[in-house]
A and B are shown apart, each in its own frame.
Chain A
Amino acid sequence: MLNYDRLVFEQSVKGRKGYSLLNNTYPSKYQMADLGAKLRLKTVPLPELSELDVVRHYTLLSQKNFGVETGFYPLGSCTMKYNPKINEELAALPGFTRIHPLHYPSSIEGTLKIYRYLSEMLSEIVGMDAFTLNPFAGAHGELTGLMIMKQYHLNRQDFKRTKVIVPDAAHGTNPASSAVAGMDIIEIPSTASGLVDIEQLKAVLNDDVAGMMLTNPNTLGIFDRNICEICRLVHEAGGLMYYDGANLNALLGQARPGDMGFDIVHVNLHKTFSTPHGGGGPGSGPVGVKKKLAHLLPGPQVKETDGFCYIETSAESIGRVSGFFGNTLVWIRAYAYILTLGKENIKRVGELATINANYVKESLKDDYLLPIEGPCMHECVFDGLLDKSTNVTTLDIAKRLLDFGYHAPTIYFPLLFHQSIMIEPTETESKQTLDDFIAVMKTVAKEAKEHPDIVKEAPHATLVSRIDEVYAAKKMILTYQDLLEENAKINEVK
């Protein structure tokens, strides 16, 4: 395949036009030029292209990308399941896309009802009492949840509680979110299987603890059977329990965070609830809480009385974390997804995802190092190759997989193992897909032993290979303008 390597600016030709607007006939006295000195002096150097030029350019760019529909995406903790197309169609209905966020509530009952219904369904699924759909992403949901935690204690006049306990196996957003919410972290070391070390936990429980952030199953795909004890201990110490919903897929049909003792939960609609990742967003990170925290949820809030929905934010709300109601068209997709699954099918998601992960685990344990014995849940972790004698790293393996048409699994996370490979084969992947993947993983392991160079120098079949990240960080060519300057410098030297 040809490597299409043009920037849209490099396709620009002066005078080309790609749009058509109305011919409005307002009285001629109204001229924008009257703004005089308020106007910018130089025209914006945006590119000029015809409509077809634009279509071709972005179509060719898309062909340089790998999506879930192109192939298997075994990224651990990302839950890259199928993104149903019916959800795309429904979220694009004009009745949903044409409404202004400040429209009169009585004229937007449809969308407000979806807000309420989805909130109720999510509450039922995770065992909470109330939800906000306003946070834009998982990390944003975490921040919101932690703000609720902090405000809860402030309202009780308990000003000492400024610390959040986070296991060292946690995702980087956990400590970062705590910091942004104005709290300090207490990192506790995990056990060898990445589980919470109860003794370490007891040692840090104090009256300065606001709460604890956990995901269960943990980042290794292992369910912590001590979860009720952990929640009890933290509650007894006066703290709240926060559930990071990144791994919720494993629990659908098996358990609910609310029943384990969690007080605050965030879910990732772009993971568990099938909304598309979009190359990095827009996602959606709704936050659910137990009744005693419901009044703290961020505004604006959607309430319902006698079947009629309206917008009313409680006085004790922590305030807005978003301009309006979050990524509306994303949560509409999630609503459609949950209805498509229905109560009959949603309860099978966890079990099928878990069977898939365990099947992959059993099939690869003769070639890759399994650091932890026993069954996993929806994802499994290997610590690199079993045979590391040729010094082939996890990075090399990941790059070689690209040659076979797979997206690499999550690598170097969790930090507990030096050569982590985290594989999450969601419930929408068939046995055939997994068998093909397993065969390729075995092939790569064999290559690592017999022809290590082919793995170390991978990928060979992609359009570009092993990009120089040091150059990127040093040169800092971050815009087309930078690129032009850099080229000018190079030409000068010549």
Chain B
Amino acid sequence: MSKVVEGLYYAQSHEWLKVEGNIGIIGVSDFAQAQLGSIVFVDLPEVGIQVTKEVEFGAVESVKAASDLLSPISGVVIENNQAVIDDPELINKDAFANWLIKVEIANPSEIDQLLSAADYRSISK
């Protein structure tokens, strides 16, 4: 059973979103990291890049799969997680503690279209 954290929003494509004011913190779920296996590489956008809801912003790569990262919301990248870039396996260790990017949210209403923890739990069994 993969871990699902309450209080976060989820996308069908297995990314999670934590909202702090107008900042969105984005990562991938425990289910995603388990599916991928040991992660060897993350490709993240530079600060200042615009991300769009449901559009690819980067990729996460394991030995057996390469998965596109789709943004749960639109905005501008204000920070990416250098620790994860340097040691991608951190995502496997704790997918929720190790975020990928922080964005300035452009359109807060998009959050309503995401899944709750309970809804996500039921689709990621």
Interface residues of A (CB under 8 A from B): 469-470, 473-474
Contact = CB atoms under 8 A, between A and B. Distances in A.
B41 interface: yes
B63 interface: yes
7 contacts: A469-B63, A470-B40, A470-B89, A473-B40, A473-B61, A473-B63, A474-B89
Contacts of B63: 469-470, 473
B98 interface: no
A474 B88 CA distance: 9
A76 B88 CA distance: 35
A469 B61 CA distance: 13
Given A473-B41, A474-B88, 4 more contacts: A470-B40, A470-B63, A473-B61, A474-B40
Contacts of B40: 470, 473-474
Contacts of B13: none
Interface in B57-96: 61, 63, 88-89
B116 interface: no
B51 to A, nearest CB: 23
A470 B38 CA distance: 7
A275 B30 CA distance: 47
8 A-B pairs with least C-beta separation: A473-B40, A470-B38, A469-B63, A474-B40, A473-B63, A470-B63, A470-B40, A473-B41
A469 B40 CA distance: 10
Interface string B16-56: 00000000000000000000001011000000000000000
A474 B63 CA distance: 9
Nearest to B41: A473
Contacts of A473: 40-41, 61, 63
Nearest to B61: A473
Contacts of B88: 474
Contacts of A474: 40, 88-89
Nearest to B37: A470
Contacts of A470: 38, 40, 63, 89
B79 to A, nearest CB: 24
B81 to A, nearest CB: 17
B91 to A, nearest CB: 13
A469 B88 CA distance: 15
Nearest to B38: A470
Contacts of A469: 63
A34 B7 CA distance: 73
Contacts of B89: 470, 474
A414 to B, nearest CB: 16
Nearest to B87: A474
A469 B63 CA distance: 7
Contacts of B61: 473
A474 B38 CA distance: 10
